[in-house]
Structure 1
Amino acid sequence: MRRPTLSLRVDQFEYVQLILLAVIVGVLAALGNLGFRQLIELFSWVFRELEWQALGIEKGGFHRALIPLVLLSGGVAILVLDRIFPEDVLGYGFPNFLEMVNLGTARLKRRWIFVKAAGAALSLGSGASVGREGPIAQVGGAIGSTIAQLRKLSPDRAKVLVAAGAGAGIATTFNAPIGGLMFAQEIILLGHTEIANLTLLIIATFTAVITSRAIIGNAVVFTVPEFVLRSYWEMATYALMGAALGALAAGYIRFFNATEAWFRRLNLPVWVKLEAGLAVVGVIAIWLPENLSDGYPVINRAMAGEFGIGMLAALTCAKIFASSVSLGCGAPGGSFGPTFFIGTMAGGFFQRVSAMAIPHLTGPRGSYALVGLGAFLAGTTHAPLTALFLLWEMTHSDTIALPAMIATITALVVARAIETESIDEFRLAREGKTLQIGRERLALALIPVSAVVTKNVTIVNENTSLAEVLRTAGETAQSTLPVLNSDGELAGTIVVRDLLTVIGGGQELGPLVNAFDICNVHGPTVTLDANLDEASQLMEHDGLDEIPVVERVSRRFLGLVTSRQIAQALNRVSVSLSTLATRDTNIYWATGYRVTRIGVPANAAGKTLRQLDPRARFSITVLAVQDANNPDSGFAPIAPDRPLKPGDELVVAGRSQDIRQFTHELESIQPAEAARASAQSSGSGKT
């Protein structure tokens, strides 16, 4: 009798590794969050205690006019950090983060772990009206990306670890593991994930919260009052508040992005825009110091019902303006903190108005401020589950569930009816980018150009004569001729159809005209680390079938990427996924192996599997063939001595690189050699 073993299959072992990596990401994200908090406390002490004392601001009166100086000094520190780490410090970087995760390869810079935390801590410490949540999500995401790069994971796996790190950072911030999970699922991954990947997100967020609680205890960010629902008729009031906050959220999205766009259009040095914006925020703080930083203590006071209707209205408007100016001028930080602040103040303001108009259908102040926080968050981020679970985990009250659902969903519906894009996707949409791409584009976005680049291409030198260019264009099947200089760098491109148009147009082309004179020196190019989605978009925009691939810095020519290669890559992915979805439950393909189809080119006609010997030479197996003359017959096993026909479809199994080599072998067979093979095969059949 065979004894049972505890061995794991390759795919099971890989998933166990991913689980362990998710645990590591959760622990490191929690530690990164705690370090980020310490940085915020350090810079808050430096700017808003030491510097305030030195300037005498705590004395009040006319001394408060010096508050802008504190923010200006914080701006100087931010500029110094930006000088050390250019392009990684300034501005509201969360939309770019989402673009890199969903439209790129999810390879984030490792230095973001420190740079994003330090930049946001300087902003918050000096008093800029920004949030801490966006930066901590980027810090956690950079941790996840670093782990993925060290383990050399594929882009789709790296994307999940980035989301896991971002969700773990948010979960630790609010001591809310499910809220962090929903943040990763709804906002980072845009609601697209598999059950297996969802498990990794759960493991990371809960590990992060457990780690945080083990170090600092069960601390909470907000002191939440007990939620009270006086009657179920009050649901109508919460629905009205949701509608009002939804309209406010849409307005905030547009004002926020309009302010950022206005600062970008200003023809001023970066440091001038940053310091001017921070000075404006400082001027507002002279009358409303509660507007400084993320205002978490002020949110707690509002939930306790301390502010009157006038103060709540002033704080709401001030935070809308100050946060837009702070992030628009280039101060590093996030928008979650201002969103929480505005939602809380607006919810409290609505309660005061409702209590005067319909007192019998209005509950206590703190309850409306709390639900207002979640409703406004859902309206600005278009992530209702994140808002709902954050509210539930902050209160641990089942009573809040129904009012919160009514308010958040109403706010979401109204906000999306007015503005279809969320606060993080608005700018990307105006740039012609959408994170909600189809499965085909998503698959192409995960494949780098380096995987399909063709290096064996026909090129011409920039000094090549026009006659030689015409001869070369007539002999090659390429639609694009790369023009290179003496250093092997791309000087331009000649599109064959454009060349024919020039000649047919009767333009004067003398004998001294060379390739450089007629090439397009500003044609589109891609680099090896670009993805196929970017390449296909460039092709579609310029109406090309081929695009040159160059090095990023030197522009040395590396090869071509063609629309045919992109289509083949997409087909391979689709076939592999289809095979995986319909495979027999007893068959498990090892890592790197796949099943795909190969078309037999005309020059390989007459060759047999015995002659090609793919198993010995390329380590692949030909499973079946579909006869080109009878495609409706389906696939059938292939005999080793059956001559191949042009258009035959072969089903092969093996490693991707081996299949590519076999395909190249078929394409490189000389026609004369194939004809001799066919004749020999016919002769051997007669004997």
Structure 2
Amino acid sequence: MDFVKNTFEAIKARAHYLRNWRLFYKWSIAAGLVGVLGGIGALLFSYTLDAITPLFDSVAAALPDPRLIAIIPAAGGLLVGIIRHVWMPEAFCSPCATDAMIDIIHEDGGRSKFKVPFVTILTASITLASGGSAGRECPTALIGTGFGSISSTIIEKLHLDKLLGFSFTKDDVRVLAVCGAAAGIGAVFRAPIGSALFVTSVLYIYGMEYDLVLPSMISSATSYLLFSVFYGFEPLFNAPFIWAFNVFDLSVVLLIGVLASLVGILYLKVFYGIFRRFRSMAMPDWLKPALGGLLMGILVLFIPRVWGMGYGTIQDIIDLQLALPMLLLLVIAKILASSLSIGSGGAGGVIAPSLFIGAALGGAVGTMATQLFPGAEAHPTLYVIAGMGALYASVGKVPLSTAIILCETTRNYTMIIPLIVATTAGFLASGTSTIYESQHADATRETADILRRVPVERVMAKDPFVLREDTSAQDVLRAVGTSGHHGFPVVNDDDHLVGVVSWTDARALPYEERATTPVSEIMTRELIWLRPTDSTRTALDMIEHNKIGRVIIAEPDGKRVLGVVTRADLINAYSEWISAT
């Protein structure tokens, strides 16, 4: 008996081992494809930005008076507004590109319109090339998500899953969208590990989707390698110092984390105040980015360093090139500049501005700390980078991935402990305040919901009792007695679903009309149905929202009825799953 039991356990262990290899094989192909396409998308974005920037630079150089520089971001905003109005008007409703990316993953199941990545490449390139105070990381994440959706379409249309021997479901479409975002971020940040963690955690204020880390890592690493072949493997920022354990440094970065949360909350209030102000303006949406660009351009006349992405200024702050008054001024100025550029409808992201603001804050706190304690063993460069991480962690709610990304972008992994201290402090002190309105609250609660993970085809009653269009109302009532159900799908002569009828529909007729009235005259034609791959949570939500007793399960085209699932079916199945676990 023990021999049989031990053999069974060995087979189970072996099956689990093989299952892991099958998953690795599957994601090596699917996520690898996304990594290649996402890397190409990042290259297209970078090449487009590199091609458009000289055009705006030449216009700026030709201005008769340097004080007219404000018309450059205004002109860029006007072009972006027109392009969005014509091809992607829904983009005006998203505060930034990462919000649009999160919506695609959470609300659309990873399905993105084909035009989204290409329109985003063009509009984001124009915004940044014309001096918009925004970043390229959020647009690249959205571009990557679009290419992740395209990858799913390629797999489905070419039947690559069947040709190469792996399964591909509706849920995998969402996974590839996440992989696409990781590919985009991993390429432009030169940070494959942190980017994979970033996209699996930025979807939520708390927690992350751990089961998506492997495919995201494959996609991000592939994209990073492809992108770096063309743009080099050099770090994004240079921070050449070695950090050893130091209580003074940890105390300073902890203080920076707390202060960054306060500045982050200020950033959110200004950003969303300007965003909502522009949304409520009584003027066409396509004109609003031009107005935002003009106001930002006027600010540039007084503080030129808020122009563009600001990576050069961030490096200057890291190199301790700016004085304390300028650092404090840049904190406020960059908040205003990025809020005007992005909040008015410009195509850009908030990651680079957040890093800029955080760098200025960290540099200011570090400068004051070293002046107050001249004898302390300090690392001022560390304080700048800690400020970058703490500020973005406080508004983006991604403390761990931000710390790792900054280690990767500087190739300085000795900073990991103080960076985690700073980002965790910023994250905790800022509470639930987030710059991404599309973030869901808690990943743990959502992934713990077993109904989200089980397709409705595992619960539905197959070969359901259906009625024809010419069935009489009286026969409907008889069917209630023989089947025990109170509602039925109705099909036509081609067995295509055309409606649904319930016993209340039939009973509402006068008694003398029930025998002669066909179902086609009393049935409901506004169909509520699901595909077999939809989740049981979707089925239960649909039943509760529409106050119905059952949902029809049909083929993807909605024509042939495959089954019916009732509230009782879902409750019984849920009870069995809970007891089994």
Distance (Å, rounded) in 2 between the aligned partners of 1:103 and 1:514: 39
Any stretches of 5+ residues in structure 2 without a counterpart?
Answer: 1-16, 162-167
Partner of 1:411: 426
Deviations 1:497-539 (A, max 9, x none): 7999x99xxxx99989999999989x89455486543332232
Partner of 1:444: 452
Partner of 2:74: 71
Query: Contact 2:52–2:126 at 8 Å: present in 1 too?
Result: yes
Deviations 1:119-157 (A, max 9, x none): 322222223332211221232233334334413522444
Q: Which has the higher contact order (CA 8 A, sep 6+)?
A: 2
| 1:128 equivalent in alignment to 2:132 | yes
3-state secondary structure, aligned to 1:34? helix
Instruction: Tell me: CA distance 1:177–1:554, structure 2 relative to 1, closer, same or farther (3 Å).
Output: closer
Q: Give the Å deviation of 1:375.
A: 1.3
Distance (Å, rounded) in 2 between the aligned partners of 1:243 and 1:105: 36
Distance (Å, rounded) in 2 between the aligned partners of 1:487 and 1:284: 67
Q: Give the Å deviation of 1:199.
A: 4.2
Distance (Å, rounded) in 2 between the aligned partners of 1:328 and 1:515: 54
Q: Give the Å deviation of 1:343.
A: 1.0
Distance (Å, rounded) in 2 between the aligned partners of 1:510 and 1:272: 65
Distance (Å, rounded) in 2 between the aligned partners of 1:453 and 1:440: 25
Instruction: Tell me: CA distance 1:118–1:520, structure 2 relative to 1, closer, same or farther (3 Å).
Output: same
Question: What is the aligned counterpart of 2:98 among 94, 99, 118?
Answer: 94
1:125 partner letter:
A
With structure 2 as the length reference, what TM-score do the two structures score? 0.77
Distance (Å, rounded) in 2 between the aligned partners of 1:459 and 1:42: 63
Partner of 2:5: none
| 1:340 equivalent in alignment to 2:343 | no
| 1:50 equivalent in alignment to 2:54 | no
Partner of 1:534: 538
Aligned ranges for residues 328-367 of structure 1 at < 5 Å? 328-361=343-376, 363=378, 365-367=380-382
Partner of 1:385: 400
Aligned residue pair count: 548
Distance (Å, rounded) in 1 between the aligned partners of 2:81 and 2:438: 24
2:208 partner letter:
G
Q: Give the Å deviation of 1:290.
A: 2.4
Q: Give the Å deviation of 1:446.
A: 6.6
| 1:545 equivalent in alignment to 2:549 | yes
3-state secondary structure, aligned to 2:132? coil
Question: What is the aligned counterpart of 2:37 among 28, 40, 44?
Answer: 28
Deviations 1:141-174 (A, max 9, x none): 3333433441352244444443333223222212
| 1:112 equivalent in alignment to 2:116 | yes
Question: What is the aligned counterpart of 2:567 among 550, 563, 570?
Answer: 563
Query: Contact 1:78–1:122 at 8 Å: present in 2 too?
Result: no
3-state secondary structure, aligned to 1:178? helix
Distance (Å, rounded) in 2 between the aligned partners of 1:390 and 1:36: 21
2:220 partner letter:
T
Aligned ranges for residues 7-406 of structure 1 at < 5 Å? 12=21, 15-47=24-56, 49-56=57-64, 59-60=65-66, 62-64=67-69, 67-68=70-71, 70-85=73-88, 87=90, 91=94, 92-102=96-106, 105-149=109-153, 150=155, 151-152=160-161, 153-187=168-202, 191-194=208-211, 198-224=213-239, 226=241, 232-265=247-280, 268-361=283-376, 363=378, 365-397=380-412, 399-406=414-421
Q: Give the Å deviation of 1:245.
A: 0.6
Instruction: Tell me: CA distance 1:41–1:310, structure 2 relative to 1, closer, same or farther (3 Å).
Output: same
Any stretches of 5+ residues in structure 1 without a counterpart?
Answer: 1-7, 579-687
3-state secondary structure, aligned to 1:55? coil
Q: Give the Å deviation of 1:333.
A: 2.5
Distance (Å, rounded) in 2 between the aligned partners of 1:552 and 1:11: 30
Distance (Å, rounded) in 2 between the aligned partners of 1:393 and 1:11: 28
Query: Contact 1:155–1:446 at 8 Å: present in 2 too?
Result: no
Instruction: Tell me: CA distance 1:514–1:325, structure 2 relative to 1, closer, same or farther (3 Å).
Output: farther
Instruction: Tell me: CA distance 1:73–1:207, structure 2 relative to 1, closer, same or farther (3 Å).
Output: closer
Aligned ranges for residues 508-527 of structure 1 at < 5 Å? 525=528
Largest Rg, 1 or 2: 1
Deviations 1:12-43 (A, max 9, x none): 46643432444443333333222211111222
Partner of 1:597: none
Distance (Å, rounded) in 1 between the aligned partners of 2:288 and 2:497: 38
Distance (Å, rounded) in 1 between the aligned partners of 2:574 and 2:557: 29
Query: Contact 2:456–2:539 at 8 Å: present in 1 too?
Result: no
Q: Give the Å deviation of 1:216.
A: 3.0
Partner of 1:620: none
Instruction: Tell me: CA distance 1:456–1:132, structure 2 relative to 1, closer, same or farther (3 Å).
Output: same
Instruction: Tell me: CA distance 1:462–1:327, structure 2 relative to 1, closer, same or farther (3 Å).
Output: farther
Q: Give the Å deviation of 1:483.
A: 9.0
1:447 partner letter:
P
Question: What is the aligned counterpart of 1:423 among 435, 447, 455?
Answer: 435
Query: Contact 2:81–2:286 at 8 Å: present in 1 too?
Result: no
3-state secondary structure, aligned to 1:116? helix
Deviations 1:191-231 (A, max 9, x none): 3224xx64444433333333333333223322335467795
Deviations 1:41-81 (A, max 9, x none): 2222222x13213434xx52x333xx145423443244225
Query: Contact 2:396–2:434 at 8 Å: present in 1 too?
Result: yes
Query: Contact 2:80–2:346 at 8 Å: present in 1 too?
Result: no
Instruction: Tell me: CA distance 1:422–1:73, structure 2 relative to 1, closer, same or farther (3 Å).
Output: closer
2:366 partner letter:
Q
Instruction: Tell me: CA distance 1:496–1:123, structure 2 relative to 1, closer, same or farther (3 Å).
Output: farther
Distance (Å, rounded) in 1 between the aligned partners of 2:294 and 2:512: 64
1:193 partner letter:
Y
With structure 1 as the length reference, what TM-score do the two structures score? 0.66
2:435 partner letter:
I
Query: Contact 1:26–1:165 at 8 Å: present in 2 too?
Result: yes
Q: Which one has a larger percent helix, Structure 1 or Structure 2? A: 2
Query: Contact 1:68–1:280 at 8 Å: present in 2 too?
Result: no
Instruction: Tell me: CA distance 1:277–1:517, structure 2 relative to 1, closer, same or farther (3 Å).
Output: farther
Deviations 1:389-423 (A, max 9, x none): 1232234445423322322221122112xxx2543
Q: Percent sequence identity over matched residues?
A: 23
Instruction: Tell me: CA distance 1:73–1:148, structure 2 relative to 1, closer, same or farther (3 Å).
Output: closer
1:122 partner letter:
I
